[in-house]
Amino acid sequence: MSGPDRRHAVGVARDTIRLLGGERAQSDVIAAALLHDVGKVESSFGTFARVGVTCAALAVGRSRLLRWAGDPSGSGRSSRRARVGLYLTHDRLGAALLKGAGSQDVTVSWAAEHHLAPEMWTVDATIGAALKAADGD
């Protein structure tokens, strides 16, 4: 993960610990805070490209931009268009990376669910609320 991503992850972990208190902030929850955005590494985008994609997704809609980007799992993964798709699906990609690495269920689930509405979370609601508040997005 890039320097800004690592700083963000540590800040999310610190805020999660503060919001939950020491007892609820177990190692799997801290790992979820630290690794929720790990899928972003797949796009190889820097900060300015990420801002551009985020603004474009807000302007035209995430689903429309994803349709334009096409399937990022194909052979053209290195094209700019495919990288947009990779960035926009960082939640799913991150969960797959974490699952493949043998991460605990909460860590994998939060990577996949951190952009979903609370009623769609499978993680404990209190833990999810603290992680979401700490992430700030």
For residue 119, what pLDDT is reported?
97
For residue 19, what pLDDT is reported?
94
C-alpha 97 chain-centroid distance: 11
The reply to whether the predicted model has a pTM over 0.85 is yes
Number of other residues whose CB lies within 10 A of the CB of residue 99: 15
pLDDT, tens digit (0-9, with 9 covering 90-100), for 2-58: 888 899 999 999 999 999 987 777 899 999 999 999 999 999 999 899 999 999 999
Residue 61 carries which DSSP code?
-
pLDDT, tens digit (0-9, with 9 covering 90-100), for 77-107: 678 888 999 999 999 999 999 999 999 999 9
Check whether 75 has a pLDDT greater than 60.
Answer: no
Q: For tokens 């972003």, what's the residue?
A: 40
Cβ–Cβ under 8 Å, residues 38 and 114: no
Cβ–Cβ under 8 Å, residues 69 and 82: yes
Cβ–Cβ under 8 Å, residues 73 and 82: no
